């Protein structure tokens, strides 16, 4: 059962009404809308679906289980996000449940019309003893994109979390220079109601020029932010540092909270470094979509 000061994953999940509120209160009519709400529960068979609701351009698929954990694959049937789009995704892991969320492919943030922004709102709730691996594939920023994205996590003291958000700055293979883009991102993690991690970043304007500065990113074309909250976080620090290149770093925020940030020349180089790390932290249970 949840602690007295912690809501149940079913209570904190984004409801259909929440999605409608976000859609109806967007500053401009959305071009695409999507909402999904998944609750996972643990029983003698492992982790299974306790509740599922989805609508619009956001769908969840469930590959055949290889382990006791439940894997969910998010699919944006709109093919990407652009100004005016609104997407809301909620995951709830009940006591003892183990849930992994990824995406079918990289998300593409396309050019937006003036004064229009895309909104992506994600929430995760973890009860005692639950574990969630939030490992979506890359978000690719296209020239002229305008995106606001939030990820809010509410977890019990005994829950575990792996969270990785890869980001790619433009399409290097097409010779695109990201001279104009706007991306606002915020990750907030609460444990027993108290904030234990907060990371907010804003990219705006000529990103290529900004990221090209030696003191910023040295011309990196991709990056990932990773948070690992578990009892073995301290034991993972040295092995992960040994796996990083000179453009990455990892540190302990607390004995059981590890934070890692890695820069890479492009998405290919980022994946080459990131996949072994994710395999290690998921116990070699990384979703197959990462291997395609």
Mean per-residue pLDDT, 226-240? 98
Residue 226 CA from chain centroid, whole number: 9
Mean pLDDT estimate for the chain: 91
Has residue 61 got a pLDDT over 80? yes
Q: Domain ranges in the chain?
A: 9-291
Helix H or strand E segment including 81: none
pLDDT score of 29: 54
Confirm if 89 and 56 have CB atoms less than 8 A apart: no
Q: Is the pLDDT score of 234 beyond 70?
A: yes
Where residue 23 falls among pLDDT bands split at 50, 70, 90? very low
Region 48-54: mean pLDDT is 97
- Lowest mean pLDDT, pick from 104-113, 158-167, 283-292: 283-292
Report pLDDT for 264: 96
Report pTM: 0.89
**Site of tokens 């859609």:** 23
State yes or no: pLDDT of 176 exceeds 90.
Answer: no
Enumerate long-range contacts of 52-61, CB under 8 Å, 24 or more apart: 53/15, 53/16, 55/16, 55/19, 56/32, 57/32, 57/33, 57/87, 58/34, 58/87, 58/88, 58/89, 59/34, 60/36, 61/104
Collapse the DSSP code of 12 into the 3-class scheme (helix H, G, I; strand E, B; otherwise coil) and give the result. Answer: helix
Over residues 82-94, the mean pLDDT reads 97
Residue-wise pLDDT tens digits, 121-147 = 999 999 999 999 999 999 999 999 999
Question: DSSP letter at 241?
Answer: H
User: Phi and psi at residue 265, in whole multiples of 5°?
Assistant: -65, -35
199: nearest Cα among 223, 225, 175: 225
Average pLDDT (45-58) is: 96
Q: What is the pLDDT of residue 19?
A: 47
């Amino acid at each position: 059962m949840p602690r007295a000061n912690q809501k149940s994953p079913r209570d904190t999940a984004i409801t259909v009404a929440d999605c409608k509120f976000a859609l109806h209160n967007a500053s401009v009519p959305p071009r695409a809308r999507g909402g999904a709400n998944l609750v996972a529960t643990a029983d003698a068979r492992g982790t299974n679906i306790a509740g599922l609701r989805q609508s619009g351009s956001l769908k969840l698929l469930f590959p055949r289980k290889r382990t006791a954990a439940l894997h969910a694959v998010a699919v944006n049937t709109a093919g990407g996000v652009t100004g005016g789009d609104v997407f809301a995704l909620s995951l709830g892991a009940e006591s003892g449940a183990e849930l992994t969320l990824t995406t079918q492919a990289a998300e593409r943030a396309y050019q937006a019309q003036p004064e229009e922004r895309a909104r992506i709102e994600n929430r995760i709730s973890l009860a005692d003893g639950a574990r969630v691996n939030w490992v979506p594939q890359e978000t690719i920023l296209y020239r002229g994109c305008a995106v606001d994205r939030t990820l809010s996590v509410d977890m019990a003291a005994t829950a575990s979390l792996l969270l990785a958000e890869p980001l790619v700055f433009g399409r290097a293979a097409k010779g695109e220079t990201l001279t104009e883009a706007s991306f606002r991102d915020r990750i907030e993690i609460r444990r027993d109601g108290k904030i234990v991690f907060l990371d907010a970043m804003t990219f705006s304007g000529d990103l290529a020029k900004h990221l090209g500065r030696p003191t910023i990113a040295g011309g990196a074309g991709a990056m990932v932010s990773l948070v690992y909250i578990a009892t073995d976080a301290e034991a993972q620090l040295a092995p992960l540092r040994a796996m990083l290149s000179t453009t990455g770093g990892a540190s302990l925020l607390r004995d059981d909270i590890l934070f890692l940030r890695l820069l890479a020349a492009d998405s290919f180089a980022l994946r080459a470094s990131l996949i072994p790390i994710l395999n290690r932290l998921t116990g070699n249970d990384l979703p197959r979509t990462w291997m395609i």
